[in-house]
Amino acid sequence: MEHGRAEDRQWERAPSERFTGDVWFSSLSNVGDEGLNALGVWFSLGARTGWHTHPEGQTLYVVSGAGRVGSRDGSAVTIGPGDVVYAEPGDEHWHGATPGSHMQHLSLTTGGDTEWTGELVSDAEYDV
């Protein structure tokens, strides 16, 4: 068994070409590329991912704050602590904090790396 203390966890700044605003993430899993990829992700007020998909889908579990999740069909939902969101394999989506709150969530994926479209989420798409 391994025990990683919170104060020893390494957080990395998310790259600006894939995220809007201040976003930090930390790996929570110790498995290979095809196994479970578990990340802790922290978003500052209004920060968000760019458009992306996951080969085998993605489960988000909101730990704190308030967030939003949007889909290519133009819909978006507000999420909060304890909420769970599942994005189907190949579903183009984005997620992040609301304008008035930070958000932290756990991201759970399998099947390989996130597939980024190269597009950031516009303010109009975010404000739906």
What average pLDDT does the segment 66-95 reach? 97
Give the CATH fold of the 22-113+120-126 domain. Answer: Jelly Rolls (2.60.120)
- Whether the per-residue pLDDT at 108 is higher than 90: the answer is yes
Q: What is the structure's pLDDT at 32?
A: 62
Q: What is the structure's pLDDT at 82?
A: 98
Q: What is the structure's pLDDT at 21?
A: 97
| Cβ neighbours of residue 91 closer than 8 Å, sequence gap 6 or more | 53, 57, 71, 72
Q: How confident is the model at residue 39 (pLDDT cuts 50, 70, 90)?
A: very high
The ranges assigned to domains in the chain are 22-113+120-126
| Tens-place pLDDT, residues 22-34 | 999 999 887 666 6
- C-alpha neighbours within 13 Å on the C-beta side of residue 6: 0
